[in-house]
Structure 1
Amino acid sequence: MSQKQKYLTSIILIFLLAGASIYGLVKRNIDLGLDIRGGLNVILTAKGTKKNPVNKRTMEQALFIMRNRVDKLGVSEPTIEQHGSRNIIVQLPGVKDAKKAINIIGQTALLEFAIVQDKYQGQDVEKLNKALEKKEKVLGETLMTGDALTSASAGFDQEVKAQNSYIVSLNFTNKGADDFASVTAKKNKNKGLAIVLDGKIITAPNINEPITGGKAQIEGIDTLEEAKEVALVLQTGQLPFKLEIAQQQQVGPTLGKDSLNAALIAMIIGFILVALYMLIYYRLFGLIAWASLAAFASLLFGSLLLLDIIMESVGAVGISLSLPSIAGIILMIGIAADSSIIVYERIKEEVREGRSLRSAIDVGFSRGFKTFLDADLVTFLTAAILFNFGIGPIKGFAMILMVGIFIDIVVSLMFKRSVLKLIAINNWIKNPALIGIRGVNSE
């Protein structure tokens, strides 16, 4: 294969890849980030104890439980992932009631059964909880926990229909049923059995007779929504440790849409201004730069789409375009244009030093490529550090830079160099003024 054929093959291959990228983008969209489509973004920090330390096993358990809870909330396309050793990032698109969502996701859901101390027998739940807040010894030792449950469901309390009261029905395992029968045995008859959720007494009914059916219920819940929330957190299991909110952000869909429109306008204006500058200043080389930028943009989005498909196929969190990601794309357009400028200026310098245009293109591209390759590698390393230590949108920004740098190098070697080499081999530029140089011979 001759040199001309190699260069033509490289150019055709770039066009085919760019076309495939455009086709892929038409068939499948890249998801938008939470800061654009609106929703809730929370970073939760695990707080372990000696009994329940934060480690790899308990973090995996917490992630599994939280994903189950989010699934039952019905949130579409949620993101729940671990960052570092103690942080969990939760992104819930379209969520309006942030407080409710956080309560359900981050609630420890430690269910305990304990006998009310003699001193507090007969007192209502409100008084019992006030005594608990004062650190008084209201309850005896924990006799059972939620680990003995097989299911929990919300319903209407048929026995107190007039009071609009709701219940959560509990079903126990075989061992749990035996333990519950023991708890409600004759020795505890007429005593209050407190059902405690995360340190708060929900109800404390009197034990009238042993309960042997392996079932129980939490009574006195005011709304069906609250009953469903309690049932949900009990059904999905107890978190192995407490979670504290380290950072919380909620973005409305209107604000996200306005931000997206502003970012897209900035990207389009930036692309047009760069293209116009290249055309006016470098003329024919400007056309090559414009084609390079078009190929670069197509391949960048195509690469992101391919990464998104690959990540989802292996069960990882897919790629989404956030505002920092779009900022990274705008920045990469500038970097890609800068790589063309470096090469073109090197070629012009070689021409001014007396080389023929053909020789100047050969030498100028080689020297210019080495210069912007060094700059690209430094940018890539910086982005890699950001990606490794960043969180959420920062990772997205860094990933755009890394992918963009790689695409820029590929386009420069396969497309830009090939076009310039063909121009040099065929001596297509007779007048150096076509590339912004006057009074110089092209031979």
Structure 2
Amino acid sequence: MAPPTRRRRPGRTLLVLLGIVLTVFGSVFVGTKVSNASWTPGLALDLEGGTQLILTPVSSAGTPTSEDINQAISVIRQRVDASGVSEAEISRQGQRNIVVSLPGTPSQETLDLVRKSSQMDFRPVLAVDVGSPAPEPTATPTDSPTDTPTEEATPEPSASASATADGSVAGTVPGATTPTPEPSPSASSGAQSPSDAAYYLTPEVQQQFEDLDCSAEGALAGGEPGAADKAFVTCDTDGVYKYALGPIEIPGTQIDSATSGLQVLPNGGVGTEWVVNIKFTNAGTTTFAKTTERLLAQQPPQNQFAMVLDGLVISAPQVNTVIPNGQAEISGDFTQATAATLAQQLNFGSLPLTFQVESEQRVSATLGSEQLQAGLVAGLIGLVLVVIYSFLQYRALAILTVGSLVVAGVLTYGVIALLSWTQGYRLSLPGVAGLIIAIGITADSFIVYFERIRDELRDGRTLPAAVERGWDRARRTILASDAVNLLAAVVLYALSVGGVRGFAFTLGLTTVIDVIVVFLFTHPMMEIIARTRFWGGGHPLSGLDPRRLGAPERTRYVGRGKVVTGPRSTAGPEDAVEDEPVTDRKVPTPVGTGGMTIAERRAAERAAARRADAPTDAPQTTEGND
């Protein structure tokens, strides 16, 4: 007796796929009603055109160095990315020029953001809080912030260290608390103290501070540094913390130099901790001495001063001692890279650097449109060839191939439209090339699956049994192949820049969609059509005819002492017996018996003996007794 087979419910699997498709397109539909979503995916610069600006950094302190130009490109890229514009191209042209290409029609605010000059200044910290509001706070705020470790990629120090008598300053990241502002004593000169939170944190500033969400779109784009004699509310460059800052005390132009390196120990040796050393000008030395003297008497976090570059806080060290000589050392959880980054930012911000617009013009996408049309024609030709090959090779079974390709295309289009709305993704010409290649990747998965099924039919199994056994073998091959493609796409995306990343992204996306379609559409549909008369009965045009596949003739027992010699149909009353190989039980099969049961083998032996004594034109169907 054959063991019971697993009960399949392909209809439920198809409903899961339908739910995914409806979720994707439903989200885009809702976005078109409540936001700026569109059914047309966004196009990159090479397909849509855009605006190109050529900027030349100008400094009154001299000619900007190559490092200054690179830092300027980094600052502009951060501005553009934070403004929500994706697929922008920012590159260096010649020795001094910077070329910024923005796809589509950027807003005037974005263009002004790119053109504006950078400025650094030092401001006292009045209040600190987490960058995005928590829905349900679970901890009571305290008066003293705690040290919070951050990732190595952040340029802001993350652990406190004690200052030395020669004027070093310990870098620290403030905790996620907002201390209650307390009045600070005025300076001895009678002027208002920059650390006087009660004076500068007016109800209006306090409301701005509470409403600021550093995770909101455009919050990290930077902006105007604010009035020099007013309080200023901003975020850090990572969007982790938000600050309420006092008026400007030290402009960036009073920084003479900034370097990074290993800490020099008091005995003259070299330690293992990476630090940033700042040297101020004569004017900056005097101002910084007074600032550190005042901040030393404040309570956290008002004993910190924020370094503000391009309207964002790049570091907020805590003062642990008075620094009279204008030479400060910032220490903390620095790596070599993060220390060097902070030093470059300080040097860049110390320059009175402005951007002179050499040219601003619209860039057409004529060449890109022609290439897109050529690419779409090539993709259409490839799709037609795949369909023709499928019908020649698999006949009516190719209908399932075409249906799977249609489902994959619809799902891919919906996901790209959704990403264009939610993530600002723009489809570039290399991305279109990745979509065209996906046709071959998806077709490969179908071919592997169909050939596994046909191999099982050649071994004499029925179609339902061949589908299950072929799927068990094919899915491992499909997953291994798609895993290799996905790994290659991830590595290519991580190591490449520009348009190549667009190719890698679409290649990885379509690989994931291929797995979804094969598992949630192709296999369930194959289980359904295997139960139909056309495919399950082995019609010559179904692509699953055992005779056309070369299945060997077999003598089999059909009941009542009858045996039949000939190719087995892909469906029939013997399905329950033939489903037994699906359990993968290792049962020894006698040589020459073809895997028949004992009753079949005995009936076949008796039939063979009778045929040996019968005339040559005797029929092949013989009756016998068990």
TM-score, length-scaled by structure 1: 0.55
Match of residue 435 from structure 1: 543
CA distance in 2, matches of 1:389, 1:301: 26
**TM-aligned CA distance change 1:325 to 1:359, over 3 Å:** same
Contact 1:359 1:424 in 2 (8 A): no
Give the match's secondary structure for 1:91.
strand
**In the alignment, which residue of structure 2 is the partner of 1:362?**
468
Q: Write out aligned runs for 1:197-236 (5 A).
A: none
Please tell me the residue identity of whatever aligns with 1:91.
S
1:288 corresponds in structure 2 to: 400
Larger Rg: 2
Q: Work out whether 1:92 is the aligned partner of 2:102.
A: yes
Once residues 350 and 63 of structure 1 are traced to their aligned partners in structure 2, the CA distance between those partners, rounded to angstroms, is 57
Q: Partner of 2:522 in structure 1?
A: 416
The offset of 1:272, in angstroms, is 2.6
Change (3 A) 1:397 1:365: same
Q: 2:428 aligns with which of 296, 299, 322?
A: 322
Question: TM-score, normalised to structure 2's length?
Answer: 0.40
- Within 2, Cα distance between the matches of 1:438 and 1:340? 20
Map of 1:11 onto structure 2: 14
Q: 1:278 to 1:94 in 2, by over 3 A?
A: same
Matching residue's letter, 1:376 = D
Query: Partner amino acid for 2:499?
Result: P
Where 1:349 maps in the other structure, the secondary structure is helix
Higher relative contact order (CA 8 A, sep 6+): 1
Q: Give the 3-state SS of the residue equivalent to 1:309 in structure 2.
A: helix
Q: Which residue of 1 aligns with 2:561?
A: none
Q: Label 1:22 to 1:51 Cα distance change in 2 as closer, same or farther (>3 A).
A: closer
| Separation in structure 2 between the aligned mates of residue 300 and residue 404 of structure 1, nearest angstrom | 7
TM-superposed deviation, 1:412: 0.8
Runs (5+) with no aligned partner, structure 1? 96-100, 111-146, 152-172, 177-233, 244-249, 312-317
Deviation at 1:296, TM superposition (A): 0.7
How well do the aligned residues superpose, as a CA RMSD in angstroms? 4.9
Is this contact kept in 1: 2:545–2:570, CA < 8 A? no
Q: 1:43 to 1:432 in 2, by over 3 A?
A: farther
Q: What residue is the counterpart of 2:43 in the other structure? A: 32
- Take 2:515 and 2:99, find their aligned partners in 1: how far apart are those partners? 34
Encode CA deviations 1:324-363: one digit per residue, 9 max, x unaligned.
1111001001110110011111111111122222211111
Counterpart CA distance in 2 for 1:365 and 1:48 is: 64
How far the C-alpha of 1:6 sits from its partner, in A, is 3.1
| CA drift at 1:9 | 2.1
The structure-2 alpha-carbon separation of the partners of 1:42 and 1:367, relative to structure 1 and needing over 3 Å to count, comes to farther
SS of 2:451 mapped into structure 1: helix
Q: How does 1:2-151 map to 2 (within 5 A)?
A: 6-15=9-18, 17-18=20-21, 28=38, 29-39=40-50, 61-63=75-77, 80=88, 90-93=100-103
Find the residue that maps to 2:9 and give its secondary structure. helix
Gaps of 5+ in 2: 33-37, 58-62, 92-97, 120-223, 229-246, 251-309, 312-346, 356-361, 552-568, 572-626
Q: Aligned AA for 1:379?
A: N
Distance (Å, rounded) in 1 between the aligned partners of 2:471 and 2:114: 56
Task: Look up the equivalent residue of 1:387 and give its one-letter code.
Answer: Y
Seen in structure 2, the aligned counterparts of structure 1 residues 41 and 174 have a Cα distance that, compared at 3 Å, is closer
CA shift in 2, pair 1:6/1:239, >3 Å: farther
1:388 aligns with 2:398: no
CA contact (8 A) 1:387 1:395 kept: yes
Could you say which residue in structure 2 is the equivalent of 1:263?
375
The residue identity in structure 2 corresponding to 1:276 is I
* Amino acid corresponding to residue 300 of structure 1 in structure 2: T
Conservation of the 8 A alpha-carbon contact between 2:408 and 2:517: yes
Amino acid at match of 1:364: G
Q: Partner of 1:314 in structure 2?
A: none
Partner of 2:280: none
Tell me how far apart the structure 1 counterparts of residues 80 and 463 of structure 2 sit (CA, whole Å). Answer: 65
Amino acid at match of 1:253: A
**Residue 372 of structure 1: how far off its partner (Å):** 2.0
* Residues in 2 aligned to 1:286 and 1:30: alpha-carbon distance in whole angstroms: 30
Cα distance, 1:275 vs structure 2 = 2.2
- In structure 2, the residue matched to 1:371 is 477
Equivalent residue of 1:10, what SS? helix
2:449 to 338, 343, 346: 343
Q: Aligned-pair distance for 1:420?
A: 1.5
What's the secondary structure of 2:506's corresponding residue?
helix
Q: Deviations over 1:252-311 (max 9, x none)?
A: 322122122222222223223222322332123211111111111111121222233332
Structure 2 distance, partners of 1:7, 1:377, is 25
Aligned position for 2:598: none
CA pair 25-407 structure 1, distance change in 2 beyond 3 A: same
- Aligned residues, how many? 301
Letter in 1 for 2:543: I
Whole-angstrom CA distance in 1 between matches of 2:494 and 2:81: 24
How far apart, CA to CA, are the structure 2 residues paired with 1:328 and 1:413?
Answer: 22
* Bigger helix fraction: 1
Shift of 1:89: 8.7
Contact kept in structure 1, 2:490 and 2:504, CA below 8 Å: yes
**1:373 Cα offset (Å):** 1.4
- Matches of 2:363 and 2:69, distance apart in 1: 33
> Shift in Å at residue 61 of structure 1?
4.5
> Alignment partner of 1:391: what SS?
coil
CA contact (8 A) 1:79 1:91 kept: no
Q: Distance in 2 between matches of 1:372 and 1:63?
A: 40
Change in CA separation of 1:344 and 1:432 when aligned onto 2, cut-off 3 Å: farther
Shift, 1:174, TM fit: 11
Task: Tell me if the contact between 1:38 and 1:252 (Cα under 8 Å) persists in the aligned partners.
Answer: yes
Report if aligned partners of 2:493, 2:504 keep a CA contact under 8 Å in 1.
yes
Match of 2:512 in 1: 406
1:60–1:392 Cα change, 3 Å = closer
Q: Distance in 2 between matches of 1:281 and 1:413?
A: 22
Q: Say if 1:343 and 1:364, in contact at 8 Å, map to a contact too.
A: yes
| Deviations 1:173-202, CA, capped at 9 Å, x for gaps | 9999xxxxxxxxxxxxxxxxxxxxxxxxxx
- Paired with 1:398 and 1:335, the residues of 2 have a C-alpha distance of 14
- 1:363–1:393 distance in 2 versus 1, CA, 3 Å: same
For the Cα contact (< 8 Å) 1:80–1:89, is it kept in 2? Answer: no
Please tell me the residue identity of whatever aligns with 1:366. Answer: D
Kept after mapping to 1: 8 A contact 2:430/2:500 = yes
CA distance in 1, matches of 2:538, 2:80: 68
Kept after mapping to 2: 8 A contact 1:78/1:90: no
